[in-house]
Structure 1
């Protein structure tokens, strides 16, 4: 996740935790006594019972707010804690940045006494349902094809897991890739894009033509005509999934 030394510079401003998604994550964790957050970033969605945050990027660690859980700079593939170190381990929208996801998942299982909770996305659903990558930025989707891990493969690595959909609220405060599905103008904002690896890592030159088409469709009203049905929805399942594995 070294890319977050550059990608993460504005993360705390554009990636504020959404309380509705937080409620789903905390419900998935259940009544565990302590939690280790792997790929913790700035600390979004950490419950009060978080015992340790693990994050490789100094830039992200520097943006953790005062009073956050203790944090250590390390990678998922080599967690600096003993076996069965915490009741639960969580890893939220981070696996696609790991060098060796299988090794990282093995580490999550090693340190969790009771439960592992992973927030990820189903790339097949994401490609099919999310208009931004389907209609304007197939180049970005192709970039994610190389790093997205199928949820059935993740469940297998976790030793079995239940899968829960995480619909995205129309006014989601956490600016991840599909957060603005009902607010298309947001994707024309460079600061918003800077906090989304899907949009920042392929490079501005790669996505500029698609963004130009989006800007034109918004100016002419074509986008609103084409996606009128979306404007009636309060939330949308774009493929984000919680995987919950009991040890």
Structure 2
């Protein structure tokens, strides 16, 4: 079975699943809120791609959520935490077209083998007016360069987008892209337009 993460990264996440939550702080809901607030519909159904132990959705006040992750240990960890989770590939998500209000990819895209395909798949499953929220690290910053070196040292095959490059990729998938948060840990949002072809930024924070 092919996975969106590189095989080496999947093995490492599977190995570290039982201790993952001790070393990786949970993403605060307030960090993702600026992207979710751009949705042009109520956000009640969320899918977290590469969501690991379910940290990203546990703090959200939503009616329905699902984590999709390729590492079986992470899926078990999420289930132990009471989070609905399935093992799967971010390039082939197990949900129908236009069926969720938001897709999250939190601190995970840089581990994925075909990042463009994952973003396109997220766009496929979003309802019109739904939003993609991608939290990533800027490799051009000083701490970003240190993170890149550290992840490669550990054995990850991480590949990082700059904020502008990620926003351009989100726009190429047919979404209206913006960058609500900049810095070492930045946030890119992509809103699925109600009418195809409208990929202008949804607000004043569009990519430079």
> What TM-score comes out, normalization by structure 1 length?
0.60
Q: Is residue 123–residue 145 contact of structure 1 (8 Å, CA) maintained in 2?
A: no
Q: Report the aligned-residue RMSD.
A: 2.7
Q: Take 1:23 and 1:102, find their aligned partners in 2: how far apart are those partners? A: 26
Q: 1:132 to 1:157 in 2, by over 3 A?
A: closer
Q: Is residue 42–residue 60 contact of structure 1 (8 Å, CA) maintained in 2?
A: yes
Q: Is residue 12–residue 63 contact of structure 1 (8 Å, CA) maintained in 2?
A: no
Runs of 4+, deviation exceeding 4 Å:
141-146
3-state DSSP of counterpart to 2:164: helix
Q: Is residue 36–residue 89 contact of structure 1 (8 Å, CA) maintained in 2?
A: yes
Q: 1:67 to 1:11 in 2, by over 3 A?
A: closer
Give, in angstroms, the shift of residue 68 of structure 1: 3.1
Give the count of matched residue pairs.
168
Deviations 1:58-99 (A, max 9, x none): 111122265633211001111111111101111101111111
Q: Larger % of helix: which? A: 1
RCO higher in structure (CA 8 A, sep ≥6): 1
Q: Is residue 38–residue 76 contact of structure 1 (8 Å, CA) maintained in 2?
A: yes
Counterpart residue number, 1:217 = none
After superposition, residues 196-235 of structure 1 pair within 5 angstroms as: none
Structure 2: runs of 5+ lacking an equivalent: 193-208
After superposition, residues 74-223 of structure 1 pair within 5 angstroms as: 74-113=88-127, 114-125=130-141, 128=142, 130=143, 133=146, 139-140=149-150, 147-159=159-171, 160-165=176-181
Counterpart residue number, 2:32 = 25
Q: Take 2:73 and 2:152, find their aligned partners in 1: how far apart are those partners? A: 27
Give, in angstroms, the shift of residue 106 of structure 1: 0.3
Give, in angstroms, the shift of residue 5 of structure 1: 1.2
Q: Larger % of strand: which? A: 2
3-state DSSP of counterpart to 2:74: helix
1:6 aligns with 2:15: yes
Deviations 1:102-129 (A, max 9, x none): 000000111111110000011102xx2x
Deviations 1:153-173 (A, max 9, x none): 21112114211336xxxxxxx
Q: Take 1:23 and 1:87, find their aligned partners in 2: how far apart are those partners? A: 18
3-state DSSP of counterpart to 1:45: helix
Q: Take 2:158 and 2:80, find their aligned partners in 1: how far apart are those partners? A: 36
Counterpart residue number, 1:38 = 49
Counterpart residue number, 1:71 = 85
Q: 1:61 to 1:85 in 2, by over 3 A?
A: same
Q: 1:84 to 1:66 in 2, by over 3 A?
A: same
